Amino acid sequence: MVRTSGHLFDGEIRYPQWEAPTAKLRHWIEDRGVGGVILLGGSVSDLAARIQQMQSWAQVPLLIAADIEQGVGQRFSGATWMPPPMALGAIAKSDLPQACALAREMGAITAREAEAVGLNWLLAPIVDVNNNPENPAISLRAFGEMPEIVIPLIEAFIQGTQDYSVLTTAKHFPGHGDTSTDPHLDLPLIPHPRERLDRVELAPFRAAIAAGVSAVMTAHLQVPALDPDYPATLSFLVLTQLLRQEMGFDGLIVTDALVMQAITRHYGALEAPIMALEAGADVVLMPVDPPGTIEAIYQAVQTGRLSQERLHAKLERIWRAKEQVFRSTLRSEQKQGVSDSSLSWIESIAQPKASEVCRTILHQSLMVHTPSPRESRQTLQPQNLTSDTTIRATNLIVVENLLQASFLGLHTPAITIPQGWGYRLQWVDSQTPVIESINDLQPTLLQLFIQANPFQNTTGLVQIAQRHLEVLLEAGQLKALILCGSPYVWKQFVPLLPSEIPAVFSYGQIPMAQAIALEKLLDLGLAIQGTEYIDQKFTT
pLDDT tens digits, one per residue of 148-157: 999 999 999 9
387 confidence band (pLDDT: 50, 70, 90): very low
Greater model confidence, 403 or 148: 148
532 confidence band (pLDDT: 50, 70, 90): very low
Q: Whole-angstrom Cα distance, residue 233 to residue 256?
A: 8
DSSP 475: T
Section 349-372 average pLDDT: 94
Q: Whole-angstrom Cα distance, residue 170 to residue 205?
A: 7
Nearest Cα to 380, choosing from 335, 324, 423? 423
Q: So what's the pLDDT on residue 87?
A: 98
Across the chain, mean pLDDT equals: 88
The mean-pLDDT minimum among 87-91, 136-140, 306-310 falls in 136-140
Q: Whole-angstrom Cα distance, residue 396 to residue 198?
A: 46
pLDDT digits (tens, 9 = 90+) for 190-210: 999 999 999 999 999 999 999
Q: So what's the pLDDT on residue 438?
A: 56
pLDDT of 539 over the 60 cut: no
Section 111-127 average pLDDT: 97
Q: Whole-angstrom Cα distance, residue 39 to residue 53?
A: 13
Q: Which of 184, 192, 220, 468 is catalytic?
A: 184
Section 433-439 average pLDDT: 55
Q: Whole-angstrom Cα distance, residue 397 to residue 461?
A: 12
Question: How many other CB atoms are found less than 10 A from the CB of residue 365?
Answer: 26
Q: So what's the pLDDT on residue 52?
A: 94
Section 393-413 average pLDDT: 89
Section 426-438 average pLDDT: 69
Hey, which residues does 480 pair with through a beta bridge?
445
DSSP calls for 432-445 = S-TTTTSGGG--EE
What are the residue ranges spanned by the domains of the chain? Answer: 74-337, 366-523
458 confidence band (pLDDT: 50, 70, 90): confident
Q: Is 228 exposed, middle or buried (0-12, 13-18, 19+ CB in 10 A)?
A: exposed
Q: Whole-angstrom Cα distance, residue 51 to residue 227?
A: 39
Section 311-320 average pLDDT: 96
Q: So what's the pLDDT on residue 535?
A: 32
**Which CATH class, in words, describes the domain spanning 366-523?**
alpha beta
Number of alpha helices (DSSP H) and beta strands (DSSP E) in the chain: 17, 13
Q: Does the domain spanning 74-337 belong to CATH 3.40.50.10860?
A: no
Q: Whole-angstrom Cα distance, residue 508 to residue 513?
A: 5
179 confidence band (pLDDT: 50, 70, 90): confident
Q: So what's the pLDDT on residue 384?
A: 39
Contact of 503 with 481, CB cutoff 8 Å? yes
The mean-pLDDT minimum among 29-43, 161-175, 247-261, 373-387 falls in 373-387
pLDDT of 401 over the 90 cut: no
Please state, for a pLDDT cut of 90, what percent of the chain lies above it.
73
The mean-pLDDT minimum among 232-241, 390-399, 435-444 falls in 435-444
- Tell me if residue 246 falls in helix, strand or coil: helix
Q: Which of 67, 128, 256, 429 is catalytic?
A: 256
Q: So what's the pLDDT on residue 531?
A: 37
Greater model confidence, 434 or 237: 237
Q: Whole-angstrom Cα distance, residue 65 to residue 168?
A: 10
Nearest Cα to 175, choosing from 226, 102, 234? 226
Alpha helices in 37-193, H assignment, sequence order? 44-57, 85-92, 96-117, 147-161
Q: Whole-angstrom Cα distance, residue 166 to residue 162?
A: 8
pLDDT of 436 over the 60 cut: no
Q: So what's the pLDDT on residue 135?
A: 83
pLDDT of 514 over the 80 cut: yes
pLDDT of 186 over the 80 cut: no
Q: So what's the pLDDT on residue 314?
A: 96
Q: So what's the pLDDT on residue 522?
A: 79
- Tell me if residue 173 falls in helix, strand or coil: strand
pLDDT digits (tens, 9 = 90+) for 213-257: 999 999 999 999 999 999 999 999 999 999 999 999 999 999 999
229 is catalytic: no
Q: For the chain, how long is the longest CA-to-CA vector?
A: 84
pLDDT digits (tens, 9 = 90+) for 364-374: 999 998 876 65
- What stretch of H or E contains 169? strand 169-173
Q: How far is CA 414 from CA 240, 360, 425, 509, 526, in A?
A: 49, 19, 10, 10, 17
Question: Fold match between 74-337 and 366-523?
Answer: no
369 is catalytic: no
Greater model confidence, 20 or 440: 20
Nearest Cα to 517, choosing from 529, 503, 527, 531? 503
Q: So what's the pLDDT on residue 388?
A: 43
Question: How many other CB atoms are found less than 10 A from the CB of residue 302?
Answer: 9
CA Rg, the chain, in Å? Answer: 25
Q: How far is CA 421 from CA 69, 413, 442, 518, 538, in A?
A: 35, 12, 15, 11, 12
- What stretch of H or E contains 503? strand 503-506
